[in-house]
Amino acid sequence: MFTEITLQIIAIYALTGVLAGVLGGMLGLGGGIIIVPVLHFVFMQQGFSPLILMHLAVTTSLATIIVTSLSATYAHHQKEAVLWPVVNRLAPGILVGAGLGAVLADSLSSHTLSIVFGVFEILIAIQIGLELKPKAKAKLPESTGLLGSGVGIGLLSTLLGIGGGSITVPFLLWCNVNIRNAVAVSSASGFPIAVAGTTAMVIAGWDNPDVPAHSLSYLYWPAALIIIAMTVFFAPIGARLAHYLPVLTLRRIFAIVLAIVGIRMLVQM
């Protein structure tokens, strides 16, 4: 098994970034839903401790979202789609939720985290494959309601290593927010999720003796830096390809792949 950073490992990280960027840009998905399971399997092949495989994958995925969320937020802001008052009211709760999510993630075994992520992956696969979207049934809550919602979004996003789009967008659509604004708010909310989640996970795993070389606690720098470079470059390409390729067909194929990955994470030893 690989224990050092070889050219083959670098190539795998680069390909992960390419896939996360292209598919994320094309299908409107956050990179974490792709990055976390791939890193879990790659870290396993590198011979990292099985006790913290998911902790490393989740934290490293969150770190990549710090940069990609800024890029996406800037693009949405240029189009005046970001509802900043909503973002500002969600952010405090997100920060609290991220801290709670890190504490919870650190207390769970890697196997349990992989089961949680596997279930989430299957649910997202069903949502994508069947084109399920929540119907608007509520109004956007006041400050206290958004604070509580932010806590939930931050907790789940940190626990799963995602930018929160799979959670934030459905919530905002349910609250009768326009899809364009919902996606923009989700992108902007991804930054505090990623910063707070990464920081909290690094602090939570600071004294863990099982972390590998070239890492800062649960954050594995080589993977994060390579994936960031690829996603930033390829996400705009994916967005452009969405105008030329059969996105509906691709979404259904991707849903099948997600379901397989989710099932694989549930049945692994």
Mean predicted confidence (pLDDT) in 223-233: 91
Within a domain: residue 105? Answer: yes
- CA–CA distance, 126 with 122 (Å, rounded to integer): 6
Within a domain: residue 76? Answer: yes
pLDDT in tens, 19-49: 888 877 666 666 788 899 999 989 988 889 9
User: What is the predicted pLDDT for the residue at 1?
Assistant: 40
Q: What percent of the chain has pLDDT over 70?
A: 94
Q: What percent of the chain has pLDDT over 90?
A: 43
Task: Provide the token pair at 204.
Answer: 């939570």
User: What is the predicted pLDDT for the residue at 28?
Assistant: 60
What average pLDDT is seen over the chain?
86
pLDDT in tens, 101-126: 999 999 999 999 999 999 988 988 88
CB-hemisphere CA count at 13 Å for 216? Answer: 14
**How far is the CA of 150 from the CAs of 38, 117, 201, in angstroms?**
27, 20, 18
Our CA angle for 105, 35, 170, nearest 5°, is: 75
Within a domain: residue 171? Answer: yes
Query: Sign of dihedral through CA atoms 148, 151, 154, 155?
Result: negative
Domain span at residue 36 reads 7-267
User: What is the predicted pLDDT for the residue at 4?
Assistant: 64
Within a domain: residue 1? Answer: no
Counted domains in the chain: 1
pLDDT in tens, 249-267: 777 787 888 888 888 888 7
User: What is the predicted pLDDT for the residue at 154?
Assistant: 92
Q: What is the pTM of this model?
A: 0.88
User: What is the predicted pLDDT for the residue at 62?
Assistant: 93
Tell me: pLDDT of 242 over 70.
no
Task: Provide the token pair at 101.
Answer: 């999510």
Within a domain: residue 2? Answer: no
Task: Provide the token pair at 250.
Answer: 């691709």
**215-216 vs 219-220, strand pairing mode:** antiparallel
Tell me: pLDDT of 269 over 60.
no
pLDDT in tens, 152-186: 999 999 999 887 778 888 888 888 888 788 888 88
User: What is the predicted pLDDT for the residue at 19?
Assistant: 86
Within a domain: residue 116? Answer: yes
